[in-house]
Homo-oligomer: A and B are copies of this chain.
Amino acid sequence: MAGVDQEKSEHAGIDSARARVRMRVPSVAERVAQELRYQLAEGFLVPGAKLTEATIAEDLGVSRNTVREAFAELAGERLLLRQPNKGVFVATLEAGDIHDVYTVRRAIEVSSIRAGGSPERIAAVRAAVEEGKRAADANDNKGLGSANQHFHGAIVALAESSRLNTIMAQILAEMRLYFHKATLNAHFYSDWLRENEQICSALEAGELESAGDLLLAYLNRSEQQQSAIHGE
């Protein structure tokens, strides 16, 4: 009963005008996965929490097998951790994982920005910067967070690679999970607003090396901050 429900499209009389495009109707398993993704991103499900199949199945009004399929998908995305015969748990990022995640980000973000991109893609990066500024003006912390994610997503999108995009999307989803613990204070966000601006300007000016260096420096510093926050 928690949002998975979705009206079956029902324009009753209109069958003379034929539908040209197949209406996108995600399978139930897919909708369950989507709902779980949402609850994970929103912090409803905290890292380490156990997800009991029967409970979730009942809550969402679907079968246990269907929940199982959704679990398999999310486990593949590293959002859930499957422990055989014990259950599935919301993934937790350990100290080592932070370095791991930033290693991936360094690889794909720097590589993407160094190769430049089409004017449209660059405009999308600029748009994310502006989105961040607006959120800052409005004191919208949540907005700041997603603006930053859009910024880095837009950088990877420069490469026009579907695979890189999905990899980045997964990494960002993992980090979202983690950020809910590291309570986001405005002070933490103050730095990179200017920095994103710089990176974007360099990109627009075609100074790809410089843009890459700036981005790399940001990622290194960000990793340090995250490690510090998480303790150790």
Chain A residues packing against B (C-beta within 8 Å): 25, 27, 29, 65, 68-69, 72-73, 76-78, 84, 99-101, 103-104, 106-108, 110-112, 159-164, 167, 171
Contact = CB atoms under 8 A, between A and B. Distances in A.
Give the top 5 A-B pairs by smallest Cβ distance, nearest first: A107-B111, A76-B76, A103-B161, A72-B72, A107-B108
B69 A161 contact: no
When all copies of this chain in the complex are counted, the total is: 2
Contacts of A78: 163
A161 B104 contact: yes
Given A27-B84, A68-B69, A84-B27, A107 B164 contact: yes
A164 B170 CA distance: 13
Main secondary structure of the interface of A (DSSP, over half): helix
A173 to B, nearest CB: 13
A157 to B, nearest CB: 12
A172 to B, nearest CB: 13
Given A107-B111, A111-B111, 20 more contacts: A25-B84, A27-B84, A29-B72, A69-B69, A72-B72, A76-B77, A99-B161, A100-B161, A103-B160, A103-B161, A104-B108, A104-B161, A104-B164, A104-B167, A107-B107, A107-B108, A107-B164, A108-B108, A163-B171, A167-B167
Contacts of A167: 104, 167
